[in-house]
Amino acid sequence: MDNWDDYRVILALARGQSLRAAAKQLSLNHATVSRRLAALNHRYAAPVFENSPQGLRLTALGLRLLAAAEQMELLIQGNRRDELAATDALQGDIRLSLPPAIAQWLLLEELMAFQQQYPRIRLHIHCSYTLASLDSCEADIVVRVSNNPDEHLVGRRLFPVWLAYYCRPDYLTKPANRLGWITASGTPDWIATSPYPNAGVALVLDDLVLRHQVAAQRGGLVRGACYIADQMPQLQRIGDGTPHPFQDIWLLTHENLRAVPRIKLLMDYLADCLHRKRDLVEGRLT
């Protein structure tokens, strides 16, 4: 098989274990991936995948093709990093991945200013809490909030994101047994040490920014990021108001890209922008 697109289909099907998941990875529709799989099976006159209770499963033939696909993927990723590293001028593309909340509340204006200052550098900004892979060339630079970043990546640890407890002042006029927390999932352990340990969970909401916005609309209590909540005049800190550190902000890139001028330029620029907002991040501006 000499078509890289066919190998990409095999990789996506092996990792997703379903046509739907593979279609999402490949940005194709379900029917297209189904046709591509049928074409693969026809080409070899033997199935590459077979159905199982757990989803699509590679056959013996499929396992051999997958091994070849993984080798090709590594070569293509290495070639892309080598090409990027060979470009010395402050021009070209940079793929930046960062959490939506940090993009919106800390770096939006700064990223716009960078683009205006360096118009020959084109930013591709990926905002997601899903961690983009530097090894797979999904990003060239990532901003991560983590205590355990991948050890083989290079970059710098900046400082922690700090959290405190918040709500609208008029929310506390509700009876104590009606108070509730807005959380990311279930009943987190931190409720037990919060200012209202007996309050239940009013709402489970996976979006960080929306949790703050719901609290600002009198929807509940929230353990919020100071850099978001302290910029929302509707919210005030509750309890003793003392913030506490959460996880560190990291700026990371791949070892092969650390010396690329435009990568280094943006890394230094982002670090400077975030350091200038350290007081906001650490909750010292109230």
Note whether 276 and 216 are same-domain residues.
yes
Q: Which of 36-40, 98-102, 213-217 has the lowest mean pLDDT?
A: 36-40
Q: With pLDDT > 90 as the criterion, what percentage of the chain qualifies?
A: 53
Residues 75 and 115 in one domain: no
Final residue of a structural domain among 27, 57, 85: 85
Q: What CATH number is given to the structural domain containing 269?
A: 3.40.190.290
Same domain, 135 and 220: yes
Instruction: Catalogue the long-range contacts made by 266-271 (C-beta closer than 8 Å, 24 or more residues apart).
Output: 266/94, 266/96, 266/114, 266/121, 266/123, 266/141, 267/141, 267/155, 267/156, 269/110, 269/114, 270/107, 270/110, 270/141, 270/143, 271/156, 271/158
Given a cut of 70, whether residue 87 has pLDDT beyond it is no
Q: Which of 142, 125, 143 is nearest to 133 (CA)?
A: 142
Q: Are 247 and 161 in contact (CB under 8 A)?
A: yes
31 and 49 both lie in a single domain: yes
pTM: 0.69
The average confidence (pLDDT) of the chain is 87
Q: What is the mean pLDDT of residues 166-179?
A: 92
Q: Are residue 194 and residue 278 in the same domain, yes or no?
A: yes
Q: Are 35 and 42 in contact (CB under 8 A)?
A: no
Q: Which of 85, 108, 126 is the last residue of a domain?
A: 85
| 64 lies in the same domain as 131 | no
What share of the chain has pLDDT > 70, as a percent?
A: 90
Q: Kindly report the backbone phi and psi dihedral angles of residue 257, in degrees, each rounded to the nearest multiple of 5, phi listed first.
A: -110, -5
Domain ranges, residue 60: 4-85
Is the pLDDT at 81 greater than 80? The verdict is no
